[in-house]
């Protein structure tokens, strides 16, 4: 059952009749710095290969206080947005010797706090979090302990932290303007509950500001069970015989639910009702018709976040650092 015959530095030292220190130094590439002779170093390396020695990083971590691991906490790793983000971050971090511990908070603030605590117990060197917290309490605690972390996608009010995200406000603003320009003046904005997330609030603000004189039409949808709410909203719109109605979904999850309902009812996009969404996903490109959306630069977000954390870990920069990236409007024939 248990793993046997683990070769340690002590075993190498014993066989070579040198000290553990010597072996440690060589293995960690500090041989030259300590003027250890070529021949001794070679001897060590040969033994390392012969015995297939692998350092025990747990022991090293206990000693150095560094685990070379980064915690990534997102709402749901199965969500393509976060999955892609995870992949980008992993690729960026690996060359620096870090690996990722990934967990999903399931959009629950309490779960998230538990995950953060667990990860800290496991001594991850830093945290990247797409947070679902309502307030800044937990992050204040992290800051007071000097724990390196960067918020991604969503920020939290009342606290200055590292943050990488997109300009949700102007994304929603420009999409709304685009709709108005195309003659849509009944723009139904589909927000979600719970609605305290910064992304959701900013998008709604962008929508409202773009409307200016026009009557806002905000509808709230239960994020975890959007179907029923959406069915009512869509029925309401269709029955009221509105001229050129358009649904502006605040995220891809709700937009997919819209598509299902619209298809089930045999409603035509964009003739009967138009549909656009925040957060572009591959599916929108292939759906019938393709759905216009606000695309987020996921790759750049991920790299920036990883980079900010890395810099903080190496003590190289001032904090906090904020990166707000621009979104892109992907125009497709859904409106």
Binding site for a second copy (CB under 8 A): 1-5, 54-59, 61-62, 65, 67-69, 76-80, 83-84, 86-87, 90-91, 94, 99-104, 117-123, 145-148, 256, 259, 282-283, 286-289, 315
| Interacting partner of 119 out of a second copy, DNA, none (Cβ under 5 to 8 A depending on kind) | a second copy
Pick one of 2, 29, 35, 241: the residue that binds DNA (CB under 7 A).
Answer: 35
Pick one of 14, 50, 64, 236: the residue that binds DNA (CB under 7 A).
Answer: 64
Q: Smaller CB distance to DNA: residue 56 or 108?
A: 56
| Interacting partner of 134 out of a second copy, DNA, none (Cβ under 5 to 8 A depending on kind) | none
* Cα–Cα distance measured from residue 23 to residue 40, given in angstroms and rounded to the nearest whole number: 9
Q: CA 306, 117, 64: angle at the middle one, nearest 5?
A: 65
Q: Smaller CB distance to DNA: residue 18 or 329?
A: 18
- Tokens standing for 166? 């997109």
Q: Smaller CB distance to DNA: residue 6 or 317?
A: 6
- Tokens standing for 255? 């937009």
* Cα–Cα distance measured from residue 218 to residue 187, given in angstroms and rounded to the nearest whole number: 8
Residues 9 and 28: beta-carbon distance below 8 Å: no
Phi and psi (nearest 5°) for 225? -150, 70
| Interacting partner of 135 out of a second copy, DNA, none (Cβ under 5 to 8 A depending on kind) | none
| Interacting partner of 146 out of DNA, a second copy, none (Cβ under 5 to 8 A depending on kind) | a second copy
- Tokens standing for 251? 């995220």
The residue written with tokens 């971050």 in the block is 89
> What's the min distance (Å) between Cβ of 36 and DNA?
4
Residues 319 and 162: beta-carbon distance below 8 Å: yes
Q: CA 8, 13, 18: angle at the middle one, nearest 5?
A: 160
40 counts as binding DNA under rule CB under 7 A: yes
> What's the min distance (Å) between Cβ of 218 and a second copy?
26
| Interacting partner of 145 out of DNA, a second copy, none (Cβ under 5 to 8 A depending on kind) | a second copy
Would you say the C-alpha torsion 221, 225, 227, 231 has a positive or negative sign? negative
Phi and psi (nearest 5°) for 99? -120, 165
Write out the residues near DNA by the rule CB under 7 A.
6, 8-10, 17-22, 24-25, 27-28, 34-37, 40, 55-56, 59-60, 62-64
């Amino acid at each position: 059952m248990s793993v046997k015959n683990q070769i340690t530095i002590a075993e190498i030292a014993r066989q070579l009749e040198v000290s553990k220190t010597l072996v440690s130094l060589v293995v960690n590439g500090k041989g030259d710095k300590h003027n250890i002779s070529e021949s001794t170093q070679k001897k060590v390396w040969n033994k390392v290969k012969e015995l297939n020695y692998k350092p025990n990083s747990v022991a090293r971590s206990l000693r150095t206080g560094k685990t070379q691991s980064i915690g990534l906490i997102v709402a749901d790793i199965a969500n393509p947005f976060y999955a892609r983000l995870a992949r980008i971050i992993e690729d960026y971090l690996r060359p620096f010797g870090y690996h990722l511990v990934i967990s999903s908070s399931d959009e629950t603030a309490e779960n998230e706090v538990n995950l953060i605590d667990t990860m800290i117990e496991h001594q991850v060197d830093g945290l990247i979090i797409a947070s679902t917290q309502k307030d800044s309490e937990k992050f204040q605690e992290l800051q007071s302990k000097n724990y390196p972390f960067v918020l991604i996608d969503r920020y939290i009010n009342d606290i200055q932290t590292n943050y990488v995200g997109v300009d949700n406000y102007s994304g929603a603003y420009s999409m709304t303007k685009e709709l108005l320009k195309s003659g849509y003046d009944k723009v139904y904005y589909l927000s979600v509950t719970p609605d305290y997330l910064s992304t959701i609030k900013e998008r709604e603000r962008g929508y409202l500001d773009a409307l200016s004189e026009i009557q806002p039409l905000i509808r709230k949808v239960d994020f975890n069970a959007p179907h029923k709410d959406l069915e009512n909203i869509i029925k309401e719109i269709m029955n009221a015989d509105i001229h050129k109605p358009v649904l502006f979904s605040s995220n891809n999850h709700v937009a997919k639910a819209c598509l299902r309902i619209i298809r089930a009812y045999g409603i035509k996009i964009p003739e009967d009702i138009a549909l656009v969404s925040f957060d572009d996903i591959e599916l929108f490109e292939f759906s019938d018709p393709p759905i216009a959306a606000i695309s987020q630069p996921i790759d750049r977000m991920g790299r920036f976040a990883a980079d900010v954390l890395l810099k903080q870990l190496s003590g190289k920069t001032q904090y906090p650092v904020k990166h707000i990236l621009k979104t892109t409007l992907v125009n497709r024939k859904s409106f």
